[in-house]
Structure 1
Amino acid sequence: MSTTESSSGTGARRGRVVPLCWTAILLDGFDLVVLGSVLPVLLAGHVWGLTPASGALISTLGLVGMTIGAMVIGTVTERIGRRRAVIFSVITFSLFTLLCAFAPSVMIFGLLRLLAGIGLGGCLPMSITLTAEHYAGTRRANSATTVIMTGYHVGAMATALLGILFIDSLGWRSLFVFGALPALVLVPLMLRYLPDSPTAVTADDAKPSIRAAVATLFSRGLLWPTIAFWVTSFMGLILVYGLNTWLPEIMRQAGYPLGAALGLLLTLNFGGVAGLLVAGFVADRVGIGRSTIGWFVGGALFLALLSVRIPAVGLYVAVFLAGAFVFSAQVLVYAYVTRAYPDKARATGLGWTAGVGRVGAICGPLIGGALLTAGIAYPWGFYVFAAVAGLAAIAVAAVGNAQPAPATNAIREKSQAL
């Protein structure tokens, strides 16, 4: 096969990865926030005798499942391959999300959210790993990762839109059906068109053991970066989940009407999409490490600015920019992780980084809730979140001289030979 034909074939396979992984993450984003869309209806209708406390428990169970899924699937994929891990994750969260529509009790509903969380937890890091490995060594190595993550915000906004259109007419169960049905199309497309990673090997004895993959994270030269990535991801997801959960209520406490507060939440997520597109472009040109630090610093500055009462236009601009920096900073962390670990531990490193980060996802809403209960969420909530962003910048700076995996060139050479 000629070099031109090989390059053409590689480009064609690579071109299928982004849309398929983007769609998977869109469904991930949809299913991840669907609970928040239906909880008010469940509480108002006293479905299963649900209370705010049991609703919070169900939400936490989903996050626990995501922690398990990110770590377990991220580790097992070193043996089964990235492609199989992504497809398994999509099937898992789609199946259990569909079953949520038929849950007969709060206990079964919570269990199904836990199991769906396992698939959700594996989908995102494995989609990022697969995409990163296909684009390793190209000028789009970082932007490809940030582009597919825009699917998360599109999925989140789609959930809100479908909730507005159909909850009253079709009931809350319909949202879980809507969240699962696209998998009937996506999974066959993935089975047919989604290529495995260029790092994949066929001989079982050539694949790293799970124990070896985990041990690599703590090996000489990688122990400190591993800890730094974990701390950064923990801080980053405190921000993402804390702001998405409590921004409207914090702004209400500041004296803004509910409509304006919800509009600010939408603005925050629009900023997230814009920030992802810009962040990848910048990281490809100035470096992933400096970009990640700069994005967390930017997030800290604009979060602190929100503690000051400013005119309406300025407020929306500040919220937009806060979303642009905060949400994309966390994705840059994921992109950075894929550059720091060798082939045999890349998915494990990202899975564990995302898994530890999910603990931050649990803590973020708790911190915001505690500040609201104490009556100091405005302005102190923004000071706290700004401090968290600052700590994340310090933590990612501590990664130091973690270099892109030396197998990057091997990935490119192997993909050209396929």
Structure 2
Amino acid sequence: MAALCWAVVALEGYDLVVLGVVLPELLDDPSWGLDPATASVISSAGLVGVMIGALGVGPLTDRFGRRTMMIGTVTMFSVLTLLCAVATGPLVFGVLRFLAGLGLGGVLPVSIAMVNEAKRTAGGSATTTLMTGYHAGAVLTALLGIVVIPALSWRAMFVIGALPAVVLVPLLAKRLPESMPITPEQRAARGNPLSTLVRGGYLRSSLAFWVTSFMGLLLVYGLNTWLPEIMREAGYELGAALALLLTLNVGAVLGLLLAGRVSDRIGVRNCVLIWFGAAAVFLALLSVKLPGFGVYVSVLLAGVFVFSSQVVVYAYVSHHYPAQARATALGASSGIGRLGAISGPLLGGALLSAGLAYPWGFYAFAAVALVALVAITFAGKTAEPARD
């Protein structure tokens, strides 16, 4: 089950990164007449779809069962990804990306709920290990783009992204267990899982998780979008700036593996507090221009803590709520966090336009990490192991 969920998250990583890989080709295609502004709208449409999908699929998952929604979301986004390969223009392409986002948004809440219910411990290694699939999918997209686009076309990238579903969906149907009961009587007894998030003492925690997720994804998307340009403003050559972006993402994978072990030992709440605090420190230190190898070490350490902080938040959410509202809580945190994902590139762009990207951009991102640190302290002092 964990392996199947990992594969699904890897597909999500592929599908959400593939637009950035094919975008240069789309911009160069005169028949589409695409400009950067329109491309930004298409990108935002996909993110909005992911946000709505996360918010909507979570409650449906808690009401109708994990297995059913997993199969449905994977089938949905795979079919729509395949249709992107035959899109005739920017409008159709943007609509298809939005609709695919609805399915993609549901993948994460369902997958995290399932792996944590299977492991039944209060640590975060199940979640952090799962999320390495996202980065694996993202790296695979970039590598395939280098080979596939020159040999075939950008359309082939969407065909490749959809084909695994031919094998994966039947495997999910055959091998994926149903972790929640779905008899009509039990379904009626659950009521509305959304109400659990705002009653019984959970309201304060829910607000804390939402603010933290907003800030966490703002950091991830803001830095991934603008780090090369900010480093160029600091005086680094373009090649070095791109290498620093790669270093940041290598740090992200290392951070996921480390955070899982640490959270298993000290608990997810303590791990989140340490991770956001360290993220704030290392982001602020990026404002110091270091010679040679030093800057790569600094960026690597920032990546270790910045990117995995939000993943540990998902683990915290998964263990904090009762089973009947777990996917709903994860979907809400992921969905609201997507507003931060949209805001991150806007913040970086505004600082660059104002000529303040270096060093103030790093101070601004460090401040965001501090806000997340303060917010998560309101989420409750204990998190319970995942249990049905």
Aligned 8 A contact 1:225 1:402 in 2? no
Same amino acid, percent of matched pairs? 57
| Residue from 310, 315, 321 that aligns with 1:330 | 310
Q: Is the counterpart of residue 150 in structure 1 residue 109 in structure 2?
A: no
- Alignment-mate amino acid for residue 137 of structure 2: G
Equivalent AA in structure 1 for residue 77 of structure 2: F
Q: Which residue of 1 aligns with 2:301?
A: 321
Superposed CA RMSD: 1.4
* Cross-structure match for 1:133: 117
Other-structure match for 1:59: 43
**SS of 2:358 mapped into structure 1:** helix
Deviates more, 1:368-377 or 1:235-244: 368-377
Deviation string 1:83-115 (CA, Å, 9 cap, x unpaired) is: 121221111111111111100111100000001
Q: What is the CA distance between 1:211 and its match in structure 2? A: 5.7
The SS at the match of 2:171 is helix
Alignment of 1:186-205 (within 5 A): 186-197=168-179, 200-205=180-185
Describe how 1:281-360 pairs up with structure 2 within 5 A: 281-360=261-340
- Count of aligned pairs: 388
1:180 aligns with 2:147: no
Residue in 2 that maps onto 1:36: 20
Deviation (angstroms), 1:402: 4.8
* Per-residue CA distance 1:249-302 (angstroms, 9 max, x = gap): 111222212211111111111111111011011001101101001001111111
CA displacement at 1:323 relative to structure 2 = 1.1
Counterparts of 1:135 and 1:263, CA distance in 2 = 37
Partner SS, residue 337 of structure 1: helix
TM-score (normalizing by structure 1): 0.90
Which among 230, 246, 250 is matched to residue 266 of structure 1? 246
- Please give the TM-score of this superposition, normalised by the length of structure 2: 0.97
Q: Residues 312 and 94 (structure 1 numbering): CA distance in 2 closer, same or farther, change over 3 Å?
A: farther
Aligned twin of 1:120: 104
Map 1:16-95 → 2, pairs under 5 A: 17-95=1-79
Question: Structure 1 pair 152/382, CA: closer, same or farther in 2 (3 Å)?
Answer: same
- Aligned residues of 1:75 and 1:214 also touching (Cα < 8 A): yes
Partner of 2:377: 397
The 1-side partners of 2:30 and 2:234 are apart by: 30
Q: 1:378 is paired with a residue of what secondary structure?
A: coil
1:162-215 CA-to-partner distances (Å, cap 9, x unmatched) read 111121221111111111111111111111111121xx1142121257862111
Find the counterpart in structure 2 of residue 414 from structure 1: none
Please tell me whether the aligned partners of residues 75 and 210 of structure 1 are also in contact (alpha carbons under 8 angstroms): no
Match for 1:75: what amino acid? P
Q: CA deviation at 1:45?
A: 2.7
Q: Name the amino acid aligned to 1:309.
A: K
Q: Does 1:163 find its partner at 2:129? A: no
Pairwise mapping of residues 94-113 of structure 1 onto structure 2 (< 5 A)? Answer: 94-113=78-97
The structure-2 alpha-carbon separation of the partners of 1:210 and 1:319, relative to structure 1 and needing over 3 Å to count, comes to farther
Aligned to 2:354: 374
Q: Would you say the 8 A contact 2:63–2:193 is kept in 1?
A: no
The whole-number CA distance in structure 2 between the counterparts of 1:169 and 1:145 is: 37
Unaligned runs of 5+ in 2: none
Tell me the distance in 2 between the aligned counterparts of 1:46 and 1:35: 18
Q: Partner letter of residue 118 of structure 2?
A: H
State the secondary structure of the residue aligned to 1:207. helix
Between stretches 262-271 and 202-211, larger displacement belongs to 202-211
For 2:266, the aligned partner's letter is V
- For the residues of structure 2 that align with 1:400 and 1:88, how far apart are their CA atoms? 34
Q: 1:220 to 1:320 in 2, by over 3 A?
A: same
